[in-house]
Amino acid sequence: MSGATERLAELGLTLPAVTAPVAAYVPAVRTGNYAYTSGQLPIVDGKLQATGKVGDSVSPEEAAGLARICALNALAAAAGAAGGLDAIKRIVKVTCFVASAPSFTGQAQVANGASELLIDVFGDSGRHARSAVGMAVLPLDAPVEVEMIVEVE
C-alpha cells in the first residue's frame, strides 16, 4: 500500500465496491488526465442509509456523515476509472447536493463531511474547489449526493 490507499487504511476505512447506477449512466468516466464521477448517494452494502430533508427529518450532523459516505463512494467510482486509488493525483472539484428543508441554510457544513474526508485521505492534494447546493429533492429521496472531478496519472 502507498499514498492514499495507506491513509485510507490508517483512517480505518476501505474503498467500497462501486455502487451500481440507479438509471442509465456509468459511475465514472475518464477522459485524458481527469475522471468525472456521477453523483453518488450514501449507499452502504446496497442500502441507502437515510431518506428525507436536511433540517427536517435529517440533522445537519447526520447529513455531514452521509456526505462522507457519498465521498467514499465517489472515490471508489473515480478509482475504478483511474486504475486504482493511488492513481488519483488530486481532487479538483466537489459538488455536494443537499436535499434541504425550506429554511435550512447549512449546506456548506454538510459538504464539509465530504471535504474533510478527502483532505484526510489526500492531504494538500485533497483540497479542492467546491459547490454546496440546496435542492428540493434528490434521487430515491436521499438527503445528500456528491460528485467530483479528480486529476489522475
Burial 39-58 (b: 16+ CB within 10 A, else e): bbbbbeeeebbbeebbbeeb
Tell me if 18 sits within 8 A of 80, measured CB to CB.
yes
On the question of pLDDT at 2 being above 70, the answer is no
pTM of structure:
0.96
Mean pLDDT of the region 71-96 = 97
The H or E element spanning position 5 is helix 3-10
Residues contacting residue 12 through CB under 8 Å, at least 6 positions apart = none
Mean pLDDT of the region 53-72 = 98
Mean pLDDT of the region 121-137 = 98
